[in-house]
Amino acid sequence: MNKILAPSILAADFSNLAQQIRMAEMGGADWIHCDIMDGKFVPNISFGPIIVNTVKGITKLPVDVHLMIQRPDDFLVEFVNAGADYITVHQEEVVHLNRTINRIKELGANAGVVLNPSTPVSTLSEILDIVDMILIMSVNPGFGGQKFIESSLNKIKFLDSIRNEKGYKYLIEIDGGVGPDNINKISEAGCDVFVAGSSVFGADNISAAAMELKNLLNK
């Protein structure tokens, strides 16, 4: 399948959000990634369903919503109604993960699970056959602009090998410290979806930055 670039609006200028998203689209962005933080699960606060709904009104691209929040089950309906095409929840926070994954699907969105850097892939062994996407955090969640954690590559390779062996259909997504210097080796490890925040929206030319990453992925 084609590799997917999903710029994160966490690094965007919210006073010019529509223009910035359109510039990312012009550069070849495939999805728009929304990082939802509540100041409890992670030590920062970002935005909620209203901004997701705003993004949905700006773009026709799939909207990828990453819930870094406590009690995500309480907010699934709100985010699906806001326009989320993908919703990922943290393994570390959700107690009844099988139920949550199935609930997201029942609501009409694609369901994903996120692993923090210190959480092993083995914790997902019982839901790999039903999940649509697995998001590997390659930084500790809560803040943008952090350095990529190299051991994340081993998780991607392991998930890719299991997928090939068992015939599973999940996408593998990476978030944190992704840029021109490392996107190729992340891709070669078996990653499908690449979240890039500051390396796209933090650039002087958003379209050119997105295009550079897409060109690297298409090599």
Q: Which residues have a catalytic role annotated?
A: 35, 175
Return d(Cα 148, Cα 130) in angstroms, integer: 28
- Collapsed DSSP state (helix, strand, coil) of residue 46: coil
- Measured from the Cβ of residue 52, the count of other Cβ atoms closer than 10 Å reads 24
Contacts of 167 (CB under 8 A, 6+ apart): none
Segments in 36-147 forming alpha helices (H): 49-58, 76-82, 97-106
- The candidate with the shortest Cα–Cα distance to 17, out of 47, 44, 62, is 47
